[in-house]
Amino acid sequence: MSVNESALPLNEQARSPRFALAGNPNCGKTALFNAITGGRQKVGNYPGVTVERKEGFFTRPDGEQVRILDLPGTYSLDAKTPDEEISRDVLLGKISDEEQPDVILAVADATSLERNLGLILELRALGRPMILALNMMDLARARGAVIDLEVLGRELGFPVFPTVAVNGDGVEPLLAQAMQIAHAAKLSAEKSPAADWKNSTPNEVRDRFATVDAILAKAVKRSARPLIWSEKVDRIVVHPVWGSIILLFILGVIFQAIFSWAALPQEWIEKGVGALGKSVAGLMSVGPLRSLLTDGVIAGVGSVLVFLPQILLLFFFILLLEDTGYMARAAFLMDRVMGKVGLHGRAFIPLLSSFACAIPGIMATRTIENRRDRLTTILVAPLMTPSATLPNYSLLIAAFIPNTAVFGPVRLQGLVMLGLYAGGVAATLGMAWVFKRTLLKGVKPPLLMELPTYKVPSWRNIFFGLRDRCWIFIRRAGTVILAITIILWFVASYPKAPEGALLPPIDYSYAGRIGHAIEPLIRPLGFDWRIGIAFVPGMAAREVMVSALATVYAIEGKDEEATGRALSEVLKSQWSVATAVSLLVWYILACQCLSTLAVTRRETNSWRWPLFMFSYMTALAYVGSFITYRLCVWAGL
Amino acid sequence: MTVDKLYLGGMKKGDRALIVATGGPIEIRRRLLEMGFLEGSVVEVIHEAPFGKDPIAVRVRGTLLALRRNEANYIEVHLEVA
């Protein structure tokens, strides 16, 4: 049978059976999903919410196509989080555009049935065709567990299959049985009506677990022993002193990776894109089309691709830390510190990553379950000074801050740089504190987090995870970034300068007009129209500001360095120190990056939050720069 | 003579206890129960976080769970005599 693998035709989709994987977090559900689909999967969002929707496809030996949905891992179906709500509504068939699954493939961690079976009983109560995969069976046996699968299946009322998802053991018998159930279900009933769902009362939860205990008493001769080596590792890893040192070391490695290891591949991408632009330019005659292709499209693709090294590296570490089980420990260690400003322990990796670039940082907030916590982290992440701001800082500091020795080897320029970074961190934490007390106020969600036993990471899981992240970025954020780059190119290039113009061409463009138009607004901050113009192309990426200023001041150097030095000299003669300091403060606080807004749009699934982010940061920067400028003028700078 | 009630939030690293009652606001109570803090289950404090010994990591029903002392105080316990 030759059916297109990734996109089944609609009539085919209607007939192919549909499974849904459900289970607790950390039960190996995603590993099972990867084992079943072999990577044939696509990631998207459920309509209107930020819950990730993962669907996969596989073909049975007889050629039948099956679709399988990987529901988010949850501890129950009582809707307290969007994940739980979605899982429940999908299973009940209450989501429009989402077919009700024919069979529920429930997954339980065989090493901790006492907890895992709670959700299984809840799933059973839905009254849907169902089958249970007892996953990590190898680990459970190694830890001395003796489980009578037949008795367990009889007590539960549906078939139970042992699986080892990481190497695919037991997957085939499980699927064969699930197919049988699917076909039998199709014959009997088309679709069960969406049952009414009420959250369980605490007593119902107690009863459910009493049933679990009764079932386990019959089916389990011996439960799995605690994993000794995992506990020994924990004695060091969450030790107050050693644990903190290890955490700092790991954070240091991640920071180093996204800050400097990514630099080389980024340079290759930039060079490659530059070379491509040049060769395309060589093939075409001068004209608007050539400019559109080289300065607009190719440069735009480059500005998307250039983020990939950082995103890949950061998510490699995050997936590795998640897969081994370390991430929960890190959140455990950091909870108190981050909690001081109302952030979740898991917020520190996204924020730290934002030092390199807010884009991967914002994407990394997915590990934060609570919506308010996650939104707060997203909103403040761009305040962590991204590395792209560095060229601006360097330019202004070199031009305006005397390099006098302050104390021993400590020099004023270095101190100011440090102060700018400290300002960024202070603004981040301060705004997080403000948001958690005003806009995103809510009951502090309880920290109730499993510390899973350590596992050897599965490279397959990490590989598929990385592939998903890159794809999401390129398809969803990348397209917006590309469009924005092309628009900005247009704004900075048109209309063209008239014949015999004396000023640089950018003055005559829309960017120039915008710069002049906003001058009255930015004058109180000590900025003139030239800075206003540079802001426009600077929105594409912060570091573009330097070359934009060079364009505005009509500086042509042999290379970047010469341009920088020449620009520095010109600025020194044209700007007051107050203006420079004010602009530095502006750069700490302002949202000068449309790519960040694009990725925020993607991650929050609405334009509301990126608009709010832009507004509040601009307001903050305006007030900050205004006060700074006035203070500087008053101090006679 | 009445004995002061003891709660999970007041336990130290290495303490083992029997859960007597799980309380708190209904949402939290339900979540605590779903995660396995059930009356009659044994709970043991395994780790304490660095700053202020909060949160704590406890073993209950075969899994290791982290929670803050604040929430742990909804769980009344009875210290086991070793």
Residue A618 pLDDT more than 70?
Answer: yes
Q: Tell me phi and psi for residue A561, to 5 degrees.
A: -65, -45
- Chain A residues with CB under 8 Å of B9 CB are none
**Residue A44: which region, alpha, beta or left (left: phi > 0; alpha: psi -120 to 50)?**
beta
Mean pLDDT taken over chain B: 89
Q: Do B30 and A328 touch (CB under 8 A)?
A: no
Task: State the Cα–Cα distance between residues A549 and A527, nearest whole angstrom.
Answer: 12
Give me the residues paired with residue A160 across strands. Answer: A132
**Nearest alpha-carbon partner for A304 in A362, A371, A359:** A359
Q: Characterize the bridge pairing of strands A18-23 and A65-70.
A: parallel
ipTM for the complex shown: 0.93
d(CA A389, CA A278): 27
The least confident of A100-114, A235-249, A253-267, A371-385 is: A253-267
Q: Do A446 and B50 touch (CB under 8 A)?
A: no
In chain A, the residue whose alpha carbon lies closest to the alpha carbon of B25 is A202
Ranges A477-491, A537-551, B49-63, most confident: B49-63
3-class SS shares of chain B: helix, strand, coil, % to 5: 25, 40, 40
Please state, in angstroms and rounded to a whole number, the distance separating the CA atoms of residues B25 and B17. 22
Q: How far apart are CA A238 and CA B50, in angstroms?
A: 8
B74 CB neighbours in chain A (<8 A) are none
Per DSSP, which regions of A349-501 are E strands? 405-407, 410-411, 448-450
Chain B, nearest residue to A445 by Cα = B28
**Can you point out the beta strands (E) in A39-145?**
41-45, 52-59, 65-70, 103-109, 130-135
Question: Which residues, other chains included, contact A254 with Cβ-Cβ below 8 Å and sequence gap of 6+?
Answer: A314, A317, A349, A352, A353
Choose the weakest-confidence range: A118-132, A335-349, B44-58.
Answer: A335-349
Question: Could you say which of B39, B49, B62 has the minimum Cβ distance to residue A112?
Answer: B62
Closest chain A C-alpha to B34 CA, distance in angstroms = 7
pLDDT digits (tens, 9 = 90+) for A134-188: 999 999 999 999 999 999 999 999 999 999 998 899 999 999 999 999 888 765 5
pLDDT band at A95 (very low <50, low <70, confident <90, very high): confident
Q: What percent of chain A has pLDDT over 70?
A: 94
Q: Looking at CA atoms only, how far is residue B5 from chain A in angstroms?
A: 22
pLDDT (0 to 100) of residue A190: 52
Most confidently modeled range among A222-226, A496-500, A555-559? A222-226
Considering only CA atoms, give the Rg of chain B: 12
Cβ–Cβ < 8 Å for B33, B22: yes
Give the DSSP H or E segment for A217: helix A202-219
Of the candidates A448, A477, A260, the residue with the CA atom closest to the CA atom of residue A360: A477
A232 to chain B: closest CA residue: B46
Closest approach of B11 to chain A, Cα-based (Å): 17
Residues of A with CB under 8 A from a CB of B: 75-76, 78, 80, 111-115, 118, 199-202, 205-206, 209, 223-224, 226, 231, 234, 238, 240-241, 243-244, 328, 331-333, 335-337, 446-453
Q: Which range, A256-270, A381-395, A424-438, is most confident?
A: A424-438
Q: How do residues A314-370 score in pLDDT, each as one tens digit?
A: 889 988 998 899 988 998 998 888 888 888 877 887 888 787 788 888 988 877 878
Q: Do A450 and B67 touch (CB under 8 A)?
A: no
Q: CA-nearest residue of chain A to B27?
A: A80
Residue (of A220, A56, A22, A223) closest to A124 by Cα position: A22
Domain boundaries, chain B: 6-79
Over chain A, what is the mean pLDDT? Answer: 85
CA distance A87 to A245: 39
- Rounded to a whole number of angstroms, the CA Rg of chain A reads 28
Inter-chain contact B68–A80, Cβ cutoff 8 Å? no
Extract the tokens encoding A245.
């040192």
**What are the Cα distances from residue A354, in Å, to A342, A347, A415, A620, A624?**
18, 11, 22, 19, 21
pLDDT over threshold 90, residue A43: no
**Do residue B66 and residue A450 have CB atoms under 8 angstroms apart?**
yes
pLDDT at A138: 93
> Is it the case that residue A547 has pLDDT exceeding 60?
yes
Nearest to A585 by CA among A547, A629, A535, A550: A629
- pLDDT-derived band at A11 (thresholds 50, 70, 90) equals very low
Q: Mean per-residue pLDDT for A405-434?
A: 86
DSSP state of A164: B
Are B49 and A337 an interchain contact pair (Cβ–Cβ within 8 Å)? no
* Residue A482 identity (one-letter amino acid): L
CA dihedral A349, A299, A477, A317 (to 10 degrees): -30
Rounded Cα distance, A350 and A258, in Å? 12
Chain B neighbors of A335, CB-CB under 8 A: 49, 54-55, 66, 68
- Interchain contact, A199 vs B30, CB within 8 Å: yes
Q: Do A114 and B36 touch (CB under 8 A)?
A: yes
pLDDT value for A260: 76
State residue A303's pLDDT score.
75
The verdict on a CB contact (< 8 Å) between A80 and B59 is no
**Fold designation for B6-79:** SH3 type barrels. (2.30.30)
Å between B71 CA and nearest CA of chain A: 7
Question: What is the chain B residue with the closest CA to A80?
Answer: B27
CA atoms of B49 and B56, how far apart (whole Å)? 6
For residue A308, the distance in angstroms to the closest alpha carbon of chain B comes to 34
Helix (H, G, I), strand (E, B) or coil at A169: strand
| pLDDT computed for residue A15 by the predictor | 64
